[in-house]
């Protein structure tokens, strides 16, 4: 916990966001909340976003992975996908998140994979499947983000 892995971005994403002076792995992360929960975004493209989170430190009183922790991982991955889909002129704002919890996890790492259901001009919807280390589904989530116009200069430091 605490070490940061490098997020893999396709070259077209690196080219699209070049020149804005952003640390892309930091920008496309869960921010301070994600750091506290040790969320790692490992792969980021509009078609597929992958991230991990340890169960330890993210449990409820019974020792199971907290449903809210699964929601944080899901919203992080879906939001990254929506932002990448929208590009530097759009800001993704989550408007609907639902999570179905299928089984508990008590230890190890969970992995989330977000894939698009819909990628439009004003909204983007992603399905996020969270699995345990045995590749058993822990949670299925769906996130819809509104895509709002933003001036790319707003990202410049």
Catalytic annotation, residues: 75
DSSP readout, the chain?
Answer: ----PPPB--HHHHHHHTTS---HHHHTS-HHHHHHTT-EEEEEETTEEEEEEESTTSB-TTSSBPHHHHHHHHHHHHHHHHHHHH-TTEEEEEEEEEEEE-S---SSEEEEEEEEEEE-SSEEEEEEEEE-TT--EEEEEEEEEEEEE--GGGG--
């Amino acid at each position: 916990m605490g070490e940061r892995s490098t997020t893999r971005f396709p070259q077209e994403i690196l080219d699209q966001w070049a020149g804005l002076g952003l640390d892309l792995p930091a920008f496309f992360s869960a921010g301070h909340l994600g750091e506290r929960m040790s969320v790692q975004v490992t792969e980021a493209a509009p078609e597929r976003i992958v991230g991990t989170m340890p169960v330890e430190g993210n449990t409820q009183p019974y020792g199971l992975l907290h449903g809210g922790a699964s929601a944080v991982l899901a919203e992080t991955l879906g939001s990254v996908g929506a932002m990448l889909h929208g590009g530097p002129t759009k800001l993704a704002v989550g408007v609907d998140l639902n999570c179905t919890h299928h089984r508990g996890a008590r230890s190890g790492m969970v992995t989330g994979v977000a894939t698009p259901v819909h990628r439009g001009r004003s909204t983007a919807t992603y399905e996020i499947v969270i699995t345990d280390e045995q590749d058993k589904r822990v949670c299925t989530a769906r996130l819809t983000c509104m895509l709002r116009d933003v001036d790319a200069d707003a990202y410049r430091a």
